[in-house]
Amino acid sequence: MLRRISAAVIAMLPVVLALSAYEQAGRPRFSTVFRKEEFATRRGRILDAIGPTAIALVQGAPTVHSSAQFRQSNEFFYLTGVTVPQAYLLLDGAQRRSVLYLPKRDERRAATEGALLSADDPGAVTTLTGIDEVRSLEQLTDDVRTRESKATAIYTPFQPAEGDSESRDGAKRRNADAAADPWDGRPSREARFADLIRSRVAGVEVRDLSPTLDSMRRLKSEAEIAVIDRATRIGGEAILEAMRSTEPGVLESETCRWQATITIGEFIDSKPTRVWAVARRLATSPKRDLRAAASAVLLEHLLECQSTRMIPVIRAEPTRGDRRFASAIAMCWNFGTARTRSRIQKIIDAAGDVVTRRRKPDERTRMRARR
């Protein structure tokens, strides 16, 4: 007899839907994964590459229809962390400064989609992003022209930007199909942008920034490697738990638990208290896969990114003797910083001791022997 979706999944749905609505109406405006210093380092490497007699211009992804979730292009996000449509970045090699160009605030749009970063609040944007200056889109043409007398070249990516679930090969094929279509024939967005630069800033050579960006993105920083490690572990844990939970009669819909947990985890930076409430409930579930999801997706990230607030709270939980919660903590990996790593490890070790104490003596012996 086919099972129904578990009560734990149903209980999570209101939280997921509420947070998702918040995300659509007020999606993150800046990276919640990397710090602004990481992006500043990347921009500095671009400035080193283009030299003091050139500037670089990078365009962000265009806006999407209101019911779609906007995703910034890989290239623009790599240099700015900004997740706002119709944005542009100027890197001035002579002054070694970065300028972010944003649309002005649209009150009607903000009423339905939430407030986005805009040129109307430059101080707040520079503080959030670490970019040196913020200006409106209308100022971009004049700002480039004032620099053309000193600039020998303007760099911009020629390769197609990678969007949501898209590789460069796929983007190139899409552009080639459009160009070959006699009833379409439009150039790529990147080619169009390069032509606009040539027409509006006459006499300056336009060069390809893509090789420089590609070479930078091939070598991962410590912060990027940490994110890759986390994503790989979460994916691996999800696959293993799906394998453990799969048996005749289990509906495919029952595998949505990890995806729901991952969606909730996206709000750790903006709504940590609400996420903690969900994490605690999942961590005490009798279902091992839900405890594993709480561990890998929520608890680890809460300890890492909300350490000041969450370490004292989570540290107190294992002392209550809840073996299920303790087992979820014991499964956590330690992704703390140099300042917090030892404190997080003490929490994980204490939880492991709670789990071990609750086992039968012969089982504890076997467990220690396996270590």
> In the listed set 170, 197, 218, which residue is the last one of a domain according to the structure?
218
Clarify whether residues 244 and 193 are in a common domain: no
Classify residue 247 by its DSSP letter. Answer: -
Encoded amino acid at 30, one letter: F
> In the listed set 218, 243, 272, which residue is the last one of a domain according to the structure?
218
- pLDDT confidence bin for 371, thresholds 50/70/90: very low
Domain of residue 206 covers 31-218
Residue 35 placed within a domain: yes
pLDDT in tens, 174-192: 889 999 999 999 899 999 9
Clarify whether residues 202 and 235 are in a common domain: no
- SS3 state at 88: strand
Give the separation between CA 72 and CA 70, rounded to whole angstroms.
7
Q: Work out whether the CA dihedral 116, 122, 124, 127 comes out positive or negative.
A: positive
Higher pLDDT, 249 or 371: 249
- pLDDT confidence bin for 249, thresholds 50/70/90: low
Clarify whether residues 153 and 64 are in a common domain: yes
Q: What is the mean pLDDT of the chain?
A: 82
Higher pLDDT, 228 or 241: 228
The pLDDT value given to residue 18: 45
How many structural domains comprise the chain?
Answer: 2
Residue 122 placed within a domain: yes
Clarify whether residues 210 and 229 are in a common domain: no
Tokens describing residue 254: 């029952």
CB 270 within 8 A of CB 32: yes
pLDDT in tens, 196-213: 999 998 888 999 999 999
Residue 2 placed within a domain: no
Clarify whether residues 148 and 228 are in a common domain: no
Tokens describing residue 13: 């749905």
CATH classification of the domain holding 135: 3.40.350.10
Clarify whether residues 256 and 195 are in a common domain: no
Helix, strand, coil abundance in the chain, percent, nearest 5 = 60, 10, 35
> In the listed set 179, 199, 218, which residue is the last one of a domain according to the structure?
218
Give the separation between CA 304 and CA 208, rounded to whole angstroms.
39
Q: What is the pTM of this model?
A: 0.69
The whole-angstrom distance between residue 368's C-alpha and the CA centroid of its chain comes to 38
Clarify whether residues 233 and 210 are in a common domain: no
pLDDT in tens, 34-70: 899 999 999 999 999 999 999 999 999 998 876 677 8
